[in-house]
Chain A
Amino acid sequence: MPSLNHAELTRRTFLGRSAQGVGGVALASLLHGNSLRAAPARGAAHPLPLPQRVRRVIWLTMAGGPSQLETFDPKPRLAAMHGEPMPESFTRGQQLAQLQGQKLFCHAPQFPFERFGRNGTEICSLFPHLGSIVDEICLVRSMTTDAINHDPAHMFMNTGSQIAGRPSMGAWVNYGLGSEAEDLPGFVVMISTGPGRSPQPVASRQWSSGFLPGRFQGVQFHGGADPVHYLANPPGVDRARQAADVGAINAFNRLHGARVPDPELATRIAQYELAFRLQASVPDLLDLRGEDARTLDLYGCTPGDGSFASNCLLARRLAERGVRFIQLYHRDWDHHSQLREELPLRARETDQASAALVRDLKRRGMLDDTLVVWTGEFGRTPMAQGNKGTTGRDHHNRAMSMWLAGGGIRPGLVHGATDELGYAAVDKVCTVHDLHATMLHLLGIRHETFSVRFQGLDARLTGVEPARVLHDLLT
């Protein structure tokens, strides 16, 4: 949050000393919402070096690592070789996860692909809704990553580094651009899990602000009575009682400031006001009663169910309110086994809502300045994994699929390709750093010059290795 300037401070002090008593005015202003709000903060990247194509990001993370071979990357040759040994020319000397050192067999794509859209793009038949918007999205079949275990892979995807302590993308973007949301955090995270199995954990460091100031860290919204930790008043304290206390706290703080000048104090006062407003704005945000039946049907959600579909709808509401970076996780894509049984469930939980989000943004004219990204943290092997029950696929870092949609993104494009068995990206290979560079580019930021001094280095989201903006994906 920005510190208040001197004029604001003076006015606050003046109000604070009026005849009604120091707490009274503050209380009234809090309750009636006419407190002095700070102007939207401008971020560190201003003035923006590039035209800003999008103002916000909605990142859909399919946590666990969805298989590209059962989603977006058709491989008839792999089907033909089903059950045959994986040719060693593909895998020799490569890093594998649980299959390391085991005999490797080709495993056919488990579900048919269908053609969708103007270009007849092939997408797995489990995703008809995404198929129906294929002309709106840009599909990348040549994505790769460095990491091969969940935790480091999420870290790499979110922070550009496998070492803990780096800021996540959402923190970087808020640092660079500032927040446009007056009464909400600039970076919101929501996590959903389908019913059933035991999904991979997701650590809170995935939305950490790392070495950036703490105000840029992601705030997790939960379903239930306490959507943000400590948001609810204690039992027996209603909003008026809370307002009386917050008003008194700020009144006492102003009196203190009059005795002891302290630059932090103005910020402290502003944060109490913001906290109090958050206590109203978050429940308001989460209250889906105002959404019409058509919209609820579009997403396929029941308000309050904590599903991915509900979260997609909330993501749109957050976007409307100026939240800069919204990240949704949907867990349980880690199909070492039970690929045939489980992956269709994840598809059902996410397909309609992901497509609905893009459609809804579009019909509201928001898709032009929003970037939607759909990724996992890595892909999966074309080889079978059979040592954990019914067959599945192991982690894989050399091939994965993702899609993007929104402002500046070339709709309907299919970018890059893997080899004939879907083992490795071979055409127009994209890296995580490239993705980050491209996202920053769309936001108006040059990734090469967007850095913060940390441990003696100008640390960048895109790291020290060369990264490219994926201009092919852009209009």
Chain B
Amino acid sequence: MATPPRIAAAFLAASLLSLLRAAPAGAVEFNRDIRPLLAEHCFACHGPDAANRKGKLRLDVREEAIARGALNPGRPEASELLLRLASPHADEVMPPPETNKPVAPAARALLERWIREGAPYQRHWAYERPERALIPPGENGIDHLLNRRLAAEGTKPAPEADRRTLIRRLHADLTGLPPSPAEVAAFLADPAPDAYAALVERLLAGPHHGERLALGWLDAVRYADTIGYHSDNPRNVWPYRDWVVRSFHRNQRFDRFTLEQIAGDLLPDASDETRVASGFNRLLLSTEEGGAQPKDYESRMLADRVRAIGTAWLGQTTGCAQCHDHKFDPWTMKDFYALGAFFADVREPAIGRREEGMLVLDPEQRTRLAALQAQEAAARAAYERLLPAIDAAQPAWEAAARTEPAPATANSAVERTQRQVRAALAKAPAQRNERERTLVRDSHRNLSGLGAPERAALAAATATRQAYHDSLPKSLVTVSERPARVVRVQPRGNWMDESGEIVTPALPGFLPAPDFGGRVPDRLDLARWLVSAENPLTARAVVNRLWAQFFGLALSRHPEDLGSQGELPPQQALLDWLAAEFMASGWDTRHVIRTITLSRAYRRSSVAEPAALAADPENRSLARQGAFRLEAELIRDRALAAGGLLSLRVGGPPVRPYQPAGYWANLNFPPRDYTPDAGEAQYRRGLYVWWQRTFLHPSLLAFDAPSREECVATRSRSNVPQQALVLLNDPTYVEAARGLALRVLDGPAGTTARIGHAWQLALQRAPAPAEQAEAERLLARHTEDYRRDPAAARALLATGQLPPPAAADPAELAAWTHLARVLLNLHEFITRS
């Protein structure tokens, strides 16, 4: 393996440092101290991947390492592993020099100590059942476990944050919406001892908590409005998104949440609701590209689904096992394909257009559709009652029709049909075949004019019913189809190679699994296993991801990988306790969130003293809170809210905000137009923005919203100039700035008071004197400038679709729009602290 450049090298350095700090105390601990070293330096060639194993030696299994002489417990001097590390011979030394991964002397010393102490192994931490540490009654488990560590390390935790910060933090984390100045003022003034807890409960119970939680889950399951490959055409799936929002809103237990998504069609109490949830199985990428081979895409889709289960539920990187046994974790190729085989019954075209999907109706829509269907049926019956009389007139019509001239050409479909009718008419009725008889009969019914009013009524009823049907929400769902597709292990991941073993659905062999008694398990079994008490991974993966929402960084740094290449969490007892608590609570997500937000740890200030920042730059000790940039969608929400424009409607079809012209120019089959939504739809939350996988809305992309082509457990948080360009120049933000300016001018009179009001609306605090002065200077500059150039002021105020207020002084409003724009661009505005 290679010397990784900076990121990985820094990593390694950090992990070695932590080893050096940690090791001299108690005994060497395999999972903490030794496994990372072996994984980094040895497992690529001497690990679980049998096909690529060198010298038949594996170091991930103690017995085998001992049997091959690599380890001699208690005797480092007789352990080949250690001797090879120090070998002076280039052909003997390990790791081989060309891998450029020499083992540092400190690490070698550690390995020596470990062997001297008997070379004890531990199972990988995440494959053990999470231990639920005993928490004294009445104490918050998070605080108990963290404070114990902090006290032992002599670290003084940060004080509790001020109340304004707390309410803004809670709003950002629980609803993603900013508090109003009035809500902040009320909270600041609330003397009740449980004011904070009451605020938590109010936000959890409110209509927007589900939307906030959905963001992370939709990333994890790669929810999007388009198919992803090539033409990247739309598909109907947004009711699934609304189902996710609703599920979080009503705190559906995570076990049931899992069952409905993976096997909502197979549940004993399956309903339209659970079928919509089963749309999860349809969220993957698909193609309509000409020349795509079904077997190729069948293989891609299988792998896509296995990766999804790995990322969203298990916190495991399974992708490697598509082509070879995993090099670091015990995933075999067979595990990979057998997991994929669970989904082989999902009915879907391997290539080509997805179906419309299941109608997803509310009671009103259901009633209306039924009424229109009844009207259509009645119209049909009325017409059909006339048919015997109409058909009786057919012979006379035929005689006349035979004399009509034939169409000159056969270029159009109509002309071709006319020719066929003539050919049929030329035959005696008894000589006609079934198709010809139908053709002549229908021609007569259509052309004779008999029963014309009833025919027209039927056509109208059909058109009305069809138009209504077309307007109704539909969603791709899972339909199980037997026999299921045959799944084979694909050697080297090559779908053309059909020499591999046929596999049936099976759970990964290295994890505890129930006995199915010889029965081949199905998706429902898979879902039940994922959320069973025996499964050590799911609860950890879920709470680990959730933690990042509330502290900025997951407890185990890479939520997509709790395997041996992931991070042994520095606060493992906390992660394990929280996971165990999650399961013990009956998979109650809200219980976990409540536990987190009510903890003292959550309420700490995020302001780091320089010494604390230097000692623990990433806050892994959790002695303070985190300060981090908001997610892309929430930045949009916050700006629209500040501008008084945000629509708080929950759910519905995706929306189209303003987008730069020509952004979709390179989409094709068919070429795509983009028309921004008018009215309220223009001001919906970021969650509802149309998710075009190959060309995600550029304002979201700039702030690291993922394309959702693959499942994503963590978003990156970049800091790039495009973000400044979006906040400065995107018409959405300009219009929001104007909205904020109008709100300010609607408020108290006088520049000083107005500036204060603007600060309250945008940042929920008063401006500092220096800020006040700077704001006045900026206002004066722009007002004076626009007084000289009123046309420019009017041009600025015409941005967006809302008409500028007629009465306002353009120069004044333009100047305030500038100040508002500055506020929406501030680091503080887009940061949750």
- When distances are taken between beta carbons in the complex, the residues of chain A under 8 Å from B100 are 449
- When distances are taken between beta carbons in the complex, the residues of chain A under 8 Å from B232 are 201, 203
* Alpha-carbon gap, A262 to B629, bound state (A): 11
A301 proximal to B (CB < 8 A) = no
- When distances are taken between beta carbons in the complex, the residues of chain A under 8 Å from B785 are 240-241
* Most chain A CB neighbours (cut-off 10 Å) among B4, B693, B794, B814: B4
Known: A150-B289, A203-B693, A276-B724. 11 other contacts (CB 8 A): A21-B774, A148-B293, A201-B668, A214-B720, A215-B720, A229-B660, A234-B796, A238-B792, A242-B728, A253-B828, A458-B8
* Alpha-carbon gap, A94 to B773, bound state (A): 74
Q: Would you give the shortest CB distance from A325 to chain B, in whole angstroms?
A: 16
* Alpha-carbon gap, A256 to B232, bound state (A): 43
Q: Would you give the shortest CB distance from A157 to chain B, in whole angstroms?
A: 15
- When distances are taken between beta carbons in the complex, the residues of chain A under 8 Å from B770 are 22, 255
B607 contact from A1, A21, A261, A464, Cβ within 8 A: A261
B695 proximal to A (CB < 8 A) = yes
* Alpha-carbon gap, A253 to B727, bound state (A): 15
B3 proximal to A (CB < 8 A) = yes
Q: Would you give the shortest CB distance from B17 to chain A, in whole angstroms?
A: 17
* Alpha-carbon gap, A271 to B830, bound state (A): 14
* Alpha-carbon gap, A199 to B293, bound state (A): 21
- When distances are taken between beta carbons in the complex, the residues of chain A under 8 Å from B564 are 456
Contact B720 A457 (CB under 8 A): no
| Identity of the chain A residue whose Cβ is nearest the Cβ of B773 in the assembled complex | A21
| Identity of the chain B residue whose Cβ is nearest the Cβ of A446 in the assembled complex | B2
B93 proximal to A (CB < 8 A) = no
Given contacts A249-B822, A249-B825, contact A226 B289 (CB under 8 A): no
Contact B778 A203 (CB under 8 A): no
**Contact-residue size bin, chain B (C-beta under 8 Å from the other chain):** 35 or more
Contact B730 A230 (CB under 8 A): yes
- When distances are taken between beta carbons in the complex, the residues of chain A under 8 Å from B285 are 164
B328 contact from A95, A200, A456, Cβ within 8 A: A456
* Alpha-carbon gap, A254 to B483, bound state (A): 66
* Alpha-carbon gap, A394 to B291, bound state (A): 9
- When distances are taken between beta carbons in the complex, the residues of chain B under 8 Å from A233 are 728-729
- When distances are taken between beta carbons in the complex, the residues of chain B under 8 Å from A211 are 716
| Identity of the chain A residue whose Cβ is nearest the Cβ of B7 in the assembled complex | A452
* Alpha-carbon gap, A275 to B727, bound state (A): 11
Contact A203 B716 (CB under 8 A): no
Query: For residues 159 through 197 of chain B, which have their beta carbon under 8 Å from a beta carbon of chain A?
Result: none
**A249-273 toward B: CB 8 Å interface, digit per residue (1/0)?**
1011101110111111101100110
Contact A252 B668 (CB under 8 A): no
Given contacts A256-B827, A278-B725, A456-B566, contact A251 B6 (CB under 8 A): no
Q: Would you give the shortest CB distance from A30 to chain B, in whole angstroms?
A: 12
- When distances are taken between beta carbons in the complex, the residues of chain A under 8 Å from B718 are 213-215
Contact B3 A449 (CB under 8 A): yes
A45 proximal to B (CB < 8 A) = yes
Q: Would you give the shortest CB distance from B727 to chain A, in whole angstroms?
A: 9
A194 proximal to B (CB < 8 A) = no
User: Can you name 15 A-B residue pairings with CB atoms under 8 Å?
Assistant: A1-B721, A97-B291, A214-B716, A233-B728, A241-B785, A244-B782, A252-B826, A261-B610, A268-B827, A278-B721, A448-B2, A448-B98, A452-B7, A455-B565, A456-B317
User: Which 8 A-B pairs give the minimum distances between C-beta atoms?
Assistant: A456-B565, A97-B291, A236-B796, A214-B718, A236-B795, A203-B694, A164-B709, A275-B724
Q: Would you give the shortest CB distance from A79 to chain B, in whole angstroms?
A: 25
A390 proximal to B (CB < 8 A) = no
A163 proximal to B (CB < 8 A) = yes
* Alpha-carbon gap, A272 to B724, bound state (A): 6
A151 contact from B287, B774, B795, Cβ within 8 A: B287
- When distances are taken between beta carbons in the complex, the residues of chain A under 8 Å from B695 are 203-204
- When distances are taken between beta carbons in the complex, the residues of chain B under 8 Å from A253 are 826-828
- When distances are taken between beta carbons in the complex, the residues of chain B under 8 Å from A199 are 668
Contact B5 A44 (CB under 8 A): yes
B548 proximal to A (CB < 8 A) = no
**B810-833 toward A: CB 8 Å interface, digit per residue (1/0)?**
000010001001100111100101
* Alpha-carbon gap, A228 to B2, bound state (A): 37
Given contacts A21-B777, A44-B6, A264-B827, contact A98 B669 (CB under 8 A): no
* Alpha-carbon gap, A94 to B320, bound state (A): 25
* Alpha-carbon gap, A24 to B822, bound state (A): 15
* Alpha-carbon gap, A199 to B665, bound state (A): 11
Given contacts A149-B291, A244-B818, A248-B822, contact A165 B710 (CB under 8 A): yes
A235 proximal to B (CB < 8 A) = yes
Given contacts A205-B709, A242-B728, contact A457 B565 (CB under 8 A): yes
- When distances are taken between beta carbons in the complex, the residues of chain B under 8 Å from A226 are 660-662
| Identity of the chain A residue whose Cβ is nearest the Cβ of B327 in the assembled complex | A457
A395 proximal to B (CB < 8 A) = yes
Q: Would you give the shortest CB distance from B319 to chain A, in whole angstroms?
A: 7
* Alpha-carbon gap, A257 to B613, bound state (A): 14
A451 proximal to B (CB < 8 A) = yes
Contact B8 A249 (CB under 8 A): no
A374 proximal to B (CB < 8 A) = no
Residues of B within 8 A of A (CB): 1-8, 11, 98, 100, 228-232, 285, 287, 289-293, 296, 317, 319-320, 323, 327-329, 496, 558, 560-561, 563-566, 607-608, 610, 613, 617, 627, 629, 660-663, 665-669, 671, 693-696, 698-699, 701, 704, 707, 709-710, 716, 718-726, 728-731, 734, 768, 770-771, 773-775, 777-778, 781-782, 785, 791-799, 814, 818, 821-822, 825-828, 831, 833
| Identity of the chain A residue whose Cβ is nearest the Cβ of B699 in the assembled complex | A230
- When distances are taken between beta carbons in the complex, the residues of chain B under 8 Å from A457 are 317, 320, 327-328, 565
- When distances are taken between beta carbons in the complex, the residues of chain B under 8 Å from A260 are 607, 627, 833
* Alpha-carbon gap, A252 to B781, bound state (A): 16
Classify the interface of chain B: helix, strand, loop or mixed. loop
Q: Would you give the shortest CB distance from A446 to chain B, in whole angstroms?
A: 8
Contact B725 A164 (CB under 8 A): no
* Most chain A CB neighbours (cut-off 10 Å) among B231, B323, B561, B828: B828
Given contacts A150-B230, A198-B668, A205-B709, contact A453 B11 (CB under 8 A): yes
Q: Would you give the shortest CB distance from A152 to chain B, in whole angstroms?
A: 8
- When distances are taken between beta carbons in the complex, the residues of chain A under 8 Å from B827 are 253, 256-257, 262, 264-265, 268
* Most chain B CB neighbours (cut-off 10 Å) among A233, A450, A457: A457
* Alpha-carbon gap, A22 to B773, bound state (A): 9
| Identity of the chain B residue whose Cβ is nearest the Cβ of A388 in the assembled complex | B290
B731 contact from A95, A152, A234, Cβ within 8 A: A234
Given contacts A23-B774, A95-B496, A271-B724, contact A236 B8 (CB under 8 A): no
- When distances are taken between beta carbons in the complex, the residues of chain A under 8 Å from B716 are 211, 213-214
- When distances are taken between beta carbons in the complex, the residues of chain B under 8 Å from A169 are none
Contact B818 A271 (CB under 8 A): no
B666 contact from A1, A22, A202, A464, Cβ within 8 A: A202
- When distances are taken between beta carbons in the complex, the residues of chain B under 8 Å from A255 are 768, 770-771, 774
Q: Would you give the shortest CB distance from B339 to chain A, in whole angstroms?
A: 17
Contact B719 A235 (CB under 8 A): no
- When distances are taken between beta carbons in the complex, the residues of chain B under 8 Å from A262 are 627, 827, 831
**A37-62 toward B: CB 8 Å interface, digit per residue (1/0)?**
00000001100000000000000000
Contact B719 A1 (CB under 8 A): yes
Query: For residues 260 through 315 of chain A, which have their beta carbon under 8 Å from a beta carbon of chain B?
Result: 260-265, 267-268, 271-272, 274-276, 278-279
Contact B2 A450 (CB under 8 A): yes
Q: Would you give the shortest CB distance from B47 to chain A, in whole angstroms?
A: 12
* Most chain B CB neighbours (cut-off 10 Å) among A23, A203, A446: A203
B728 contact from A23, A275, A331, Cβ within 8 A: A275
* Most chain A CB neighbours (cut-off 10 Å) among B5, B100, B328: B5
A232 proximal to B (CB < 8 A) = yes
Contact A456 B710 (CB under 8 A): no
**A120-156 toward B: CB 8 Å interface, digit per residue (1/0)?**
0000000000000000000000000000111110000
A34 proximal to B (CB < 8 A) = no
- When distances are taken between beta carbons in the complex, the residues of chain B under 8 Å from A201 are 230-232, 666-669, 694
| Identity of the chain B residue whose Cβ is nearest the Cβ of A264 in the assembled complex | B719
* Alpha-carbon gap, A83 to B704, bound state (A): 53
